Structure 1
Amino acid sequence: MAETREGAIPIQRVPSWGRAVRVARAARSGGLARLAGVRPHLVLALAFLAGYCLLALVRYQRFGSPSWDLGIFTEAVKGYAHLRAPVVSIKGPGFNALGDHWSPILALLAPAFWLVPSAATLLVAQAALFAWSVGVVSDTAARVLGGSTSRGLLIGTAYGLSWGLQRAIDAEFHEIAFAVPLLALVCRQILLGNWERAAWWAMPLVLVKEDLGLTAAAVGVVLMVRGRRWYTGSVLLVFGAVFAALTVLLLIPHFNPNHQFDYWSKLPGGEHPHLWQVVRGAFTRLTVWKTVGWLLGIVGFLALRSPLMLLALPTLAWRFGSANPMFWGSDWHYNATLMPILFLALVDGIDRIRRAEHSVLKGFAEGMVPAAPGIAVACMVSLPVGLGGLADPSAWSGGAHGAALRAAIAQIPPNVRVESSMAPLARLAARDDAYWLGGSKQQAPDFLCVDLAGWSGGPTDLPGYGAALHPGSTYKVVFDRDQVVVLQRQ
């Protein structure tokens, strides 16, 4: 304020036009500098987005689904997109997906499904979420390791190539796709010392899957141990643990047709497991130790130097303590959520070793950065993940059998009740009320879509097969080509 005589109206000084221009130019220059620093990591993320989309969509195009999961998630997202409950007919008439796993975060895909109502939308969404995490890991590594863009890109490339992400892409869409970038952002904020931001990014994990509430609780422990944020950490610890218990004991049973959490049966001893059986199983299975070797080996075991590894313990505990062998190994999508934790723990471990006054691991830690992409590629070769056969033209379309499947799907009108075998299931789920073969006992379906390829001992009398599945109904063949048959109810 300018000095004035008593009683005079004060005059407020304003910056000169030249000063305002200089301030604007400085702000613009700073923004451009930040953008220039982020650009290489954004380009890396876009490159992986293209690669992930290629792998996922080629498999989708050739009808190479390894399970019915893509169809299940397509039905759930379709329900949200139509502002209805996420009913998954594939698992049974009227089955609510929230009675299987607690994944309401899938509703975020509804707008994309409005635009492109296809199972391929989910595959592209997962590719985008994974690619986002690649950019986060790459930029975080560059910041922590001395602002070196090249180091960040090397770590980001190794992470993007990691076998855990590749296995998940190969297994098609799963809800954990949302957890991957969330965990990358949580670890990033912890490494940068943004403790409250880390807590905020951890909280949505409870909407991805029921077990991830325990991971959110583990974030609270890390905030207390590393960040000395006792209040924030303790609140997050309680929030995550209570929400995990709430989903398993109340929310999922509420939506489940049998009013229970079905996965208690996956523990040794069923619904009343003996703690010793769980612990003994986790430490005495060879497959478990092999998986641990693959997980730690891809980061040169240096991730063990970081407290971020605490975040991996809840996932490892429920998987290795399970009685289901599918959870123990390196297959499927179960290791994807561990990849951002491992690689940012690697970054933290390298940084800690570099800053230590005396450490025999300094040379090894420095060499790990350029070696990381090579190790990731070596793991991909040892655990083949969906890259083989892309040079074969039939891999892109499915050949004559793929053409027959597309023609069969075209024979089935939208918005009808249809039972299907594995290959065409996801595509039909995007537009029809789709069931697994024999799954619609209460009401006979309008169509059956049967893929006999690779079905050893499959039925030869298809109308008789349809009548056996649904007594009292008769079916006639309306399409039959290259072992793909469509039957319509009369």
Structure 2
Amino acid sequence: MPTPAPSAMSSTSSEPHISASDARSTDQPRVVAGRREPWLLAVALFVGYAVVSVGRYRHLGQRSWDLGIFEQVIRSYAHLQAPIADLKGPGFNILGDHFSPVTALLAPLYRVFPSPVTLLLAQAALFALSAVPVTRAAARLLGRWGGLAIGVAYGLSWGLQQAVDFDFHEICFALPLIAFSLEALLAQRWRAALVWAMPLVLVKEDLGFTVTAIALVVAWRARQESPRAMRYAIGVAVFGVVALVVTLLLVIPSFNSAGTYDYWSKVDESGGGGPFDGLDTKLRTLCWLLIPTSGLLALRSPILLVALPTIGWRFVSSYPQYWGTDWHYNAVLMPIVTLALVDALGTARHSTRAWLRSYVRHLPAAVAAASLALTTSLPLAALTESEIYRKPERVSAIERLLAEVPDGASVEANIAPISRLTSRCRVFWITSTRGINPDFIALDNSRKRYRDVEGYVRSLHPQARYTVEGNVYGVVLLKRQ
């Protein structure tokens, strides 16, 4: 477990002198609390996150194909195969879409427990783990209760809750890496900050810029105290840029069937985007990032600069889903904004302005209260509803229908059936089999999207004949004859 360097615990000239014996007697309880309570908070958060995400799964409430895609990838890794995601197209290598080899770390666990629930629980654990360094860093600067208030505010932050509620994504690995890195930065453990940041290049291709941003903040902070650490930081900053360029221009195109990076089009102004498109949405997102999470005080810390790469690529994109507060895109910003707040609290409490010192004293409790209040309209509010703890009969009936598909069969499906099939079948996205006639087709038609399911299937596969095996609560299973 990382511990602060002695220099991080020393008092500044503006603080009253405390003798060594007094310092030990007053600081020791804080250190003990900092070692115990962050982990207890993380356990509580894990339980909450797990109940919400697994509860959505038990209600057949997946909101996209992402959980299925990641399960296919991790299932491939678990069997020592190339990371193929047939949902993206037959034989599609996921490294040609996003560069996230870090997900292979879940392969051994998935091999033992082959279920999408394994991914959801792992994500909940990683999200909860990130609360430990955040709470610990805050406790070192603000004391036991101030640190715990910041930890609660972070754990219940809206960006984290939205990510918990949206299937599984590789960014769950980024949160603890960023949080541990910035905790070390605040404790002036420069090398540890850099070491924690560097693996981010294996989480997702765009995080190379985040590595560079962290390294530049380290270089700035260490420039006088440790010139050697500053040089290391500059080297890591260069490494982040090089990793990003190599990944985008060489690695991903080499695995992509078109020989390119598919997401260039989403940052192309000719595609309808641009930094000023959706400006109202982008401004609202910035307000959500800074006001309830930090009371705007995070703006006083250079650590907030670490958020700029993620905010930048999202806001120049032509893809509206990147701009707002939905989905999982804001999760990686939560530890950055929160620890920027912690950094700002540590310096602003010595301000000569009385109003600012008063604001700082009350802010940890205020951001915790804001997170608690907002939770009533966020995913964790479901913890107070009895339905989340029960599996509906509708879902059990649909699972019995899908259980008729034998292991190893090929299936073409839309969102709802996917999560019950990817652990044991080869699953394609509807309309994306590229000439393959699958053994089964499973369609969620509960909203009557397809007026004539059999006619629709004939249009997809005119050379094959499919008959309906069952229709349960709008989920239709067809078998090839």
Which amino acid is the alignment partner of residue 460 of structure 2? Answer: L
**Which residue, 199, 204, 228 being the options, matches 2:194?**
199
Would you say the 8 A contact 2:399–2:420 is kept in 1? no
- 2:439 match: 446
* Mapped partners of 1:118, 1:339: distance in 2: 28
Residue by residue, what CA displacement relative to the aligned partner does 1:20-43 show, whole Å, maximum 9, x if unpaired? xxxxxxxxxxx9996664111111
Which amino acid is the alignment partner of residue 45 of structure 2? Answer: F
- 1:368 match: 363
* Mapped partners of 1:396, 1:437: distance in 2: 31
Would you say the 8 A contact 1:80–1:86 is kept in 2? yes
Q: Does structure 1 residue 50 correspond to structure 2 residue 47? A: yes
Q: Alignment partner of 1:418: what SS?
A: strand
- 1:460 match: 452
Deviation at 1:373, TM superposition (A): 1.3
- 1:289 match: 283
Q: Alignment partner of 1:485: what SS?
A: strand
* Mapped partners of 1:203, 1:48: distance in 2: 26
Q: Does structure 1 residue 187 correspond to structure 2 residue 182? A: yes
Task: Say which is worse superposed, 395-404 or 213-222, in terms of deviation.
Answer: 395-404
Q: Alignment partner of 1:487: what SS?
A: strand
Alignment of 1:305-316 (within 5 A): 305-316=300-311
**Which residue, 206, 213, 218 being the options, matches 1:218?**
213
* Mapped partners of 1:204, 1:171: distance in 2: 24
**Which residue, 90, 110, 115 being the options, matches 1:113?**
110
Q: Does structure 1 residue 125 correspond to structure 2 residue 109? A: no
- 1:3 match: none
* Structure 1 residues 270 and 76: CA distance shift in structure 2, 3 A: farther
Residue by residue, what CA displacement relative to the aligned partner does 1:66-92 show, whole Å, maximum 9, x if unpaired? 111111111111111110111000010
Would you say the 8 A contact 1:312–1:338 is kept in 2? yes
**Which residue, 377, 385, 404 being the options, matches 1:411?**
404
- 1:321 match: 316
Residue by residue, what CA displacement relative to the aligned partner does 1:448-478 show, whole Å, maximum 9, x if unpaired? 111111243x14342x333321121111222
Q: Alignment partner of 2:45: what SS?
A: helix
Which amino acid is the alignment partner of residue 362 of structure 1? Answer: R
Q: Alignment partner of 1:429: what SS?
A: coil
* Structure 1 residues 461 and 330: CA distance shift in structure 2, 3 A: closer
Residue by residue, what CA displacement relative to the aligned partner does 1:149-181 show, whole Å, maximum 9, x if unpaired? 222111101100000000001111111110011
Would you say the 8 A contact 1:420–1:450 is kept in 2? yes
* Mapped partners of 1:392, 1:253: distance in 2: 48
* Structure 1 residues 469 and 99: CA distance shift in structure 2, 3 A: same
* Mapped partners of 2:329, 2:264: distance in 1: 18
Deviation at 1:369, TM superposition (A): 1.2
Which amino acid is the alignment partner of residue 444 of structure 2? Answer: D
Instruction: State the TM-score, normalized to the length of structure 2.
Output: 0.89
Residue by residue, what CA displacement relative to the aligned partner does 1:188-240 show, whole Å, maximum 9, x if unpaired? 00000000110001100000011100000001110111121430121011000
Would you say the 8 A contact 1:219–1:236 is kept in 2? no
* Mapped partners of 1:359, 1:32: distance in 2: 29
Alignment of 1:73-152 (within 5 A): 73-145=70-142, 148-152=143-147
Would you say the 8 A contact 1:59–1:396 is kept in 2? no
Deviation at 1:270, TM superposition (A): 4.8
- 2:268 match: 268
* Structure 1 residues 389 and 438: CA distance shift in structure 2, 3 A: farther
Residue by residue, what CA displacement relative to the aligned partner does 1:366-404 show, whole Å, maximum 9, x if unpaired? 1001112111123334x53363496253x4455343122
Q: Alignment partner of 2:421: what SS?
A: helix
Would you say the 8 A contact 2:290–2:296 is kept in 1? yes
Would you say the 8 A contact 1:72–1:426 is kept in 2? no
Q: Does structure 1 residue 391 correspond to structure 2 residue 388? A: no
Which amino acid is the alignment partner of residue 138 of structure 1? Answer: T
Q: Does structure 1 residue 481 correspond to structure 2 residue 472? A: yes
Deviation at 1:255, TM superposition (A): 0.6
Q: Does structure 1 residue 426 correspond to structure 2 residue 419? A: yes
* Structure 1 residues 154 and 407: CA distance shift in structure 2, 3 A: same
Would you say the 8 A contact 1:312–1:341 is kept in 2? yes
Q: How many equivalent residue pairs?
A: 449
Q: Alignment partner of 1:476: what SS?
A: strand
* Mapped partners of 2:183, 2:34: distance in 1: 16
Q: Alignment partner of 1:308: what SS?
A: helix
**Which residue, 136, 152, 160 being the options, matches 2:155?**
160
Deviation at 1:140, TM superposition (A): 1.3
Unaligned runs of 5+ in 2: 1-27, 224-228
Deviation at 1:266, TM superposition (A): 0.5
What RMSD, in angstroms, separates the aligned Cα atoms of the two structures? 2.1
* Structure 1 residues 436 and 478: CA distance shift in structure 2, 3 A: same
Structure of larger gyration radius: 1
Would you say the 8 A contact 2:394–2:473 is kept in 1? yes
Q: Alignment partner of 2:432: what SS?
A: coil
* Mapped partners of 2:476, 2:156: distance in 1: 39
Which amino acid is the alignment partner of residue 116 of structure 1? Answer: F
Deviation at 1:268, TM superposition (A): 3.4
* Mapped partners of 1:201, 1:259: distance in 2: 32
Unaligned runs of 5+ in 1: 1-30
Task: Say which is worse superposed, 31-40 or 195-204, in terms of deviation.
Answer: 31-40
* Mapped partners of 2:395, 2:339: distance in 1: 41
Would you say the 8 A contact 1:180–1:337 is kept in 2? yes
Would you say the 8 A contact 1:48–1:131 is kept in 2? yes
Q: Alignment partner of 1:167: what SS?
A: helix
* Structure 1 residues 416 and 223: CA distance shift in structure 2, 3 A: same
* Mapped partners of 1:86, 1:201: distance in 2: 25
Residue by residue, what CA displacement relative to the aligned partner does 1:285-337 show, whole Å, maximum 9, x if unpaired? 10000000000012100111111001000000000111111000000000000
**Which residue, 376, 395, 406 being the options, matches 1:402?**
395
**Which residue, 69, 72, 89 being the options, matches 1:72?**
69
Identity of aligned residues (%): 42
